[in-house]
Amino acid sequence: MKIVNSPVEMKNLSITLQRSGKTIGFVPTMGALHQGHLSLLNIAAKSTDATVMSIFVNPSQFGPGEDYDKYPRTFELDSKKAQDAGCDILFAPTAQDMYPPNYSSYVDVAKLDTKLCGATRPDHFRGVCTVVLKFFNIVNPQIAVFGQKDAQQLIVLRRMVSDFNLSVSVESGPVIREKDGLAMSSRNKYLTPHERRDAPLIYKGLKGAKELFDSGERDGDKLIEMIKTHYKSSAMFTPEYIEVVDIVTLEPLKEIKDKALIAVACKTSESKTRLIDNIVLGGEL
């Protein structure tokens, strides 16, 4: 595995690969790698000749008071995990590489970026879209793979790719979970023992809603009430939002006529960790 820090070197390497007829699969991450990240690398490897994984804790997607400074940074361990998983190139630029002095260009995806997480994290998706567009221009992949756990991010990035006529296919990988159902996340390391004990209830509520949907329920409010019933049994987290939305527009759905996304965000009571999860009804993203 080759480790590259310079955007210029990475861009030149991508050009060399493509001139030799090789296709590139790309998996952007912020590090603190877990099996969820590595599963995306496996998806990329199945349909491309060379895989690139980025590790970059992107400052522009963190708001004031969020966990940018304490976000886990475990580069040596991450490098070994990526190499063992078959990564060909690990791209790890610095913040100054990506946002040099006088940097002033950003990407906004109107409407979608203010829904769900965007309602309480202003400019979060502005930062996500900006850095991903920069990565696409540097790495120039044919395929980029993102996890479904960040469903809104996936939907927003697909809109950006479509709107800008970018020559990259955005693919999704399934949510990878712990044995008790908790969605794998780098932020799970923040959880206290009490929070970790109750955190699987987040997915249990989503499963309960899906079971209700599979039995014929199509009323969005009733599905939300099912989830709330599960969440009321724990004092270790409080829902920030529970919404049933359209998988393209992210608009709330009172009645589900086709596919729908149930998305939740919860804040834990002791470590104040923000956990997100989701489930798709009636199909896939």
- How far, in Å, CA of 252 to CA of 116, rounded? 10
Instruction: Report the length, in residues, of the chain.
Output: 285
Q: Residue 54 belongs to what H/E stretch?
A: strand 50-55
- Evaluated on CA atoms 258, 172, 71, 129, the torsion sign reads negative
Residue with tokens 């990878």: 176
Catalytic residue (choose from 37, 124, 194, 230): 37
| Distance separating alpha carbons of residues 45 and 30, to the nearest angstrom | 19
194 is a catalytic site residue: no
- Token reading at 205: 């509520």
Q: How many helices (H) and strands (E) does the chain have?
A: 9, 9
Taking every pair of Cα atoms in the chain, the longest distance, rounded to a whole number of angstroms, is: 58
- Residues designated as active site: 37
